[in-house]
Structure 1
């Protein structure tokens, strides 16, 4: 373990300080390009800049970290355990940012139809997709054909990777793609416990490919502004997902935000607050 700019680094790939610094400088430069690009330019930059990062940072954890099939299955099971409460055999389920589609394939066993949305066909290519599954390629903002309505839409670690304008546009599109009574389950890291990208070792605000990290209060406000009539929050407390009052989060985040940065982040990451600050946000369209 080493210490970088006062932060503890426990990099699973045992990279050196110089390698982590190199990764940070390259990703920060690429992120600036994405933030400064026009809407039309960003449509192709999302994929191309990530490709460039992986080519230039050969020691990137996602390139060299090995994940066992058992670990992958445990991650899917954790997500599915939470999602199952919103699913029925007649549900239309959409996963935005589906990646390898492993979760979507599992959900397909429980629902009527699954749409997996991603920007890359190569990442999601599979010869063994279920019969009630369809892959839809996206420009990063679009969701579904207007004739299709979903009961449950889900994204995991996606919103923070989008330009704030694109994130808002996507959120509007997600709302429009839901049936009455449908819900959007959004999992994204909390700004108050971050940064959560490579800049965690150097900055107090995300400056890498997490183009914007949000607090729960900020997310809730965005959800309500695009039309969601209700927002529920589910916190992981002692291994259980528990619905908690929004007002509780507002108060906690307001107090932590008012503290000096170092103290506020230390408190946010403590066992006392970490569970509720990493709540899953569920927007309901009524």
Structure 2
């Protein structure tokens, strides 16, 4: 996440100390407290760190366009003109607004109303405000749900609850596309410079093994791990990747981390998991 860092070591340390302190509040909070803490603690972080990489990237129009383009290259493989889509963690809704050009209906779900002001809102777009885990839509009303770099930011209890709620709103044969970093080559938050596991706002990073188990427990009947090979998206059974993760987990930490962080293994371990109801 921060591999193109340009800040000084002192500023990185300040960021780490603050984010770790705020993240501890989330980790140690109960479900009721977290409904307000997700928003307030992130706001405190960003207000205190005007040079935070996410703020810098958000202000760069070209980077934002590239980010949306990269996600659409993935999503266009699944979208149809009769699709009813849900983006979870929609942020400024730029991606959802782009998705609206290709589908029947798109819902953008987030904890705050931060929709991009500069764009006209199409009739097939709807913004939904949530507490971070609930999804106030009718059961079996969505054909495609999508989240990108979201699950790792949720408290583990909330992540399980949200996944169950996603399953309930999916129609029969509906899919959930979940993109999240793999903890074997993490951490992927600010703690990458200091710790072996994420201690910042990545409250839990996952492996393919863990997510495959979790998706199956919730009720998803078919799982695939998708890889982009020469601009062709190919779906694979999770089992080869589970085997790779098992082998890496048996190595000494430094050796396993070095291999998992190599370019080929970063590609292999990058998580795009699709669960079909």
TM-score bracket, shorter-length normalisation: over 0.9
Per the TM alignment, residue 212 of structure 1 is displaced from its structure 2 partner at its CA by: 0.2
Structure 1 position 223 matched with structure 2 position 215: yes
Match of 2:176 in 1: 184
Match of 1:281 in 2: 273
TM-score, normalised to structure 1's length?
Answer: 0.91
Structure 1 position 48 matched with structure 2 position 40: yes
Correspondence for 1:76 among 49, 55, 68: 68
Match of 2:102 in 1: 110
Per the TM alignment, residue 166 of structure 1 is displaced from its structure 2 partner at its CA by: 0.2
Please give the secondary structure, in 2, of the residue aligned with 1:231: strand
* Deviations 1:140-172 (CA, angstroms, capped at 9, x unpaired): 001132256100000000000000000000000
Aligned-partner Cα distance in 1 for 2:201–2:18: 10
Structure 1 position 19 matched with structure 2 position 1: no
Structure 1 position 232 matched with structure 2 position 224: yes
- Larger displacement relative to structure 2 (23-32 or 57-66): 57-66
**Distance change >3 Å, CA 124–CA 32, structure 1 → 2:** farther
* Deviations 1:54-87 (CA, angstroms, capped at 9, x unpaired): 2222332223346543332222122112112222
Unaligned runs of 5+ in 2: none
Q: Is the CA contact (8 Å cut-off) linking 2:164 and 2:218 kept in structure 1?
A: yes
**Distance change >3 Å, CA 65–CA 180, structure 1 → 2:** closer
Q: Is the CA contact (8 Å cut-off) linking 2:2 and 2:189 kept in structure 1?
A: no
**Distance change >3 Å, CA 236–CA 193, structure 1 → 2:** farther
Map 1:125-140 onto structure 2 (within 5 A).
128-140=120-132
Match of 1:204 in 2: 196
**Distance change >3 Å, CA 276–CA 240, structure 1 → 2:** farther
Aligned-partner Cα distance in 2 for 1:66–1:147: 34
CA RMSD of aligned residues (A): 1.9
**Distance change >3 Å, CA 164–CA 124, structure 1 → 2:** farther
**Distance change >3 Å, CA 257–CA 222, structure 1 → 2:** same
TM-score, normalised to structure 2's length?
Answer: 0.94
Q: Is the CA contact (8 Å cut-off) linking 1:237 and 1:276 kept in structure 2?
A: no
- Larger displacement relative to structure 2 (165-174 or 272-281): 272-281
Q: Is the CA contact (8 Å cut-off) linking 1:236 and 1:279 kept in structure 2?
A: no
Match of 2:23 in 1: 31
Match of 1:241 in 2: 233
Instruction: Give the aligned length.
Output: 277
